[in-house]
Amino acid sequence: MIYGFSDSLAEMVSSLLRAANMRISSWACLALSGLVLAGCGGGGGGGPVSPQPLPTLRQSKASEWVDEALISIEETRGAPTISSRMLGMVSTAMYDAWAAYDPVATSVTFGNRLRRPEAERTERNREIAVCMAAYRVLSDLYQSRQSRFASFAARQGINPQNTSLDPSTPEGVGNMVADELLRQRRNDGSNQANGYADTTGYKPVNTVDQVNDPNQWQPMRFIFPDGTVRVPTYLTPHWGLVRPFAVTNGAEFRCPPPPAYGTSAFQKELMEVYDVTSNLTDSQKLIAEYWAGGPGSVTPPGLWMEFAQKVSRDEKYSLEKDVKLFFLVGNAVMDAGICCWDSKLAHNQVRPITAMRFFFRGQKVMSWRGPGSGFGLVDASQWRPFQPDDFITPPFPDVPSGHSTFSAAAGDVMRRFKGSDSLNVRIDYASGSSKHDPLFVPVRPTTLNYRTITEAVNDAALSRLYGGIHFRTGMVEGLTIGRKVGDRVWNKANSYFRGEISH
């Protein structure tokens, strides 16, 4: 048994369940505890798949545009903060376009001022308006991909050249919603017009070669397969200043300072990372890899949108249900990113890789030695987590964990909307199919099963410990912030659904 690991994780889960007041049954709590302590594993093969391939079923026009949004994140190697804002905006545009044809719901952009008469409330009008709104917003956010979006819109039966603002037409409704949303977001603090460049003037205390303060974040060298070396700067340090959807501002749920370097509390967390990463099972390695969400993936916010699509297909949701679910999840991850990045900048906490190398400097330590090399003793300056060299640790501070914050927020609204904790996602890995350690991991076919949303949320958090990415405090504080964000988004979104916010 890894020292202090099982008991402390059980305590963490129990305390989180109490603090969050999760409405799940006793058997689900027991299942959750068993999964967190033991990890995921079992027979399988034919993977990996991220997530399990969805059956070829009819999906709503809204879900089709979510597909386009997620592909855009992957192909542009989008950052999680920027991607979460995009998902919030696209999902809001689709919901607002749909709401114009509902007798009760109000929209974020126009309140009840765009409500269309009953005669116009056809399903086709709703679809056209939703498609046009998504097309316009995505085209603004990814201007280099406009031709792709235009072709996709045309395949859906809408004319991308139609710029009408006539609200008596569904094209006009979609265009009006998109234009107003983009206007409202033009000066929201993201600095989109300048490529999302930092507006805070942040400068790291530590350099890539010198640790001046072991409490503070340090930039790291990323080494690419072709030998290219890069040192990424802090990713969007200003993101806590972006205007959120439901929370008051990014600082509203700011977490307390993490344990300081040199204290017994910090040393305990550092040793936990060391113990865990030195004794990883194949299942734990795959959990770390599956949730990694680095460049070229849909990122953690996008992964939760994929889960929302999975729920939609399983439940055979209508367009109405889809736009509401995506609106909830999109705004949950957007606000989660804003709150998470506020705390990251406020505390600027060191990552495990810097702390490990500094604390054990001059000593030999146990470490993963890279693909095909397994684990063994190395000089502390070469300690590395189970991560690829070209993304060895995220280029921003530790506390709180983005994975934990995004996942807890999205999981909360999804669970409440569905009225159930069930998820039923299965990811199969064939032997030797790992991306981080191909040919050697896993030794045997392995399956990750997420029977519930709660299981997925908790594994998303644990994945960062397994991957040597976060200390425990980052995981716990992220889950706490995410639950608060999810609750706030749920309440505000439902006020729109019920027509209680009219501007």
pLDDT in tens, 402-430: 999 999 999 999 999 999 999 999 999 99
- As for how many domains the chain has, the answer is 1
Q: Supply the pLDDT for residue 57.
A: 55
Residue 159 has pLDDT above 90, yes or no: yes
C-alpha–C-alpha distance, residues 90 and 178, integer Å: 9
**Confidence category of residue 73, pLDDT binned at 50, 70, 90:** very high
Q: What percent of the chain has pLDDT over 90?
A: 87
Chain-centre distance of CA 170, in angstroms?
Answer: 32
Q: Report yes or no on 254 lying in a domain.
A: yes
Residue 120 has pLDDT above 70, yes or no: yes
Residue 43 has pLDDT above 60, yes or no: no
Domain range for 16: 5-59+212-497
**Confidence category of residue 12, pLDDT binned at 50, 70, 90:** very low
**pLDDT tens digit sequence for 18-40:** 333 332 222 223 222 333 322 33
* Contact of 298 with 86, CB cutoff 8 Å: no
**pLDDT tens digit sequence for 429-447:** 999 999 999 999 999 999 9
**Helical H runs in 399-501?**
402-418, 453-466, 472-497
Residue 55 has pLDDT above 50, yes or no: no
Q: Report yes or no on 90 lying in a domain.
A: no
C-alpha–C-alpha distance, residues 296 and 214, integer Å: 31
Q: Which residue would you say has higher pLDDT here, 38 or 260? A: 260
Q: Report yes or no on 128 lying in a domain.
A: no
Q: Report yes or no on 76 lying in a domain.
A: no
Q: Report yes or no on 64 lying in a domain.
A: no
Q: Supply the pLDDT for residue 49.
A: 38
Q: Report yes or no on 163 lying in a domain.
A: no
C-alpha–C-alpha distance, residues 246 and 487, integer Å: 9
C-alpha–C-alpha distance, residues 349 and 258, integer Å: 8
Residue 114 has pLDDT above 60, yes or no: yes
Q: Report yes or no on 323 lying in a domain.
A: yes
**Confidence category of residue 502, pLDDT binned at 50, 70, 90:** confident
Residue 234 has pLDDT above 90, yes or no: yes
* Contact of 205 with 213, CB cutoff 8 Å: yes
Enclosing H/E stretch for 429:
strand 422-429
The helix/strand/coil state of 451 is strand
Determine phi and psi for 205, rounding to 5 degrees. -70, -40
Provide the CB-side half-sphere exposure for 63 (13 A, CA): 21
**Confidence category of residue 89, pLDDT binned at 50, 70, 90:** very high
The whole-chain average pLDDT of the chain stands at 90
C-alpha–C-alpha distance, residues 174 and 341, integer Å: 32
Full-model pTM: 0.89
Q: What is the CATH number of the domain that holds 462?
A: 1.10.606.20
Q: Supply the pLDDT for residue 37.
A: 28
For 77, other C-beta atoms within 10 Å of its C-beta total 12
Q: Report yes or no on 346 lying in a domain.
A: yes
Out of 21-30, 215-224, 284-293, 409-418, pick the least confident.
21-30
**pLDDT tens digit sequence for 296-318:** 999 999 999 999 999 999 999 99
Segment 58-78 shows an average pLDDT of 96
**Confidence category of residue 131, pLDDT binned at 50, 70, 90:** very high
C-alpha–C-alpha distance, residues 219 and 235, integer Å: 11
Cα dist from 455 to 10, 14, 106, 231, 448, whole Å:
13, 13, 34, 35, 11
Q: Supply the pLDDT for residue 35.
A: 31
Out of 35-39, 181-185, 273-277, 383-387, pick the least confident.
35-39
Q: Tokens representing 331?
A: 């705004």
**Confidence category of residue 51, pLDDT binned at 50, 70, 90:** very low
C-alpha–C-alpha distance, residues 35 and 128, integer Å: 44
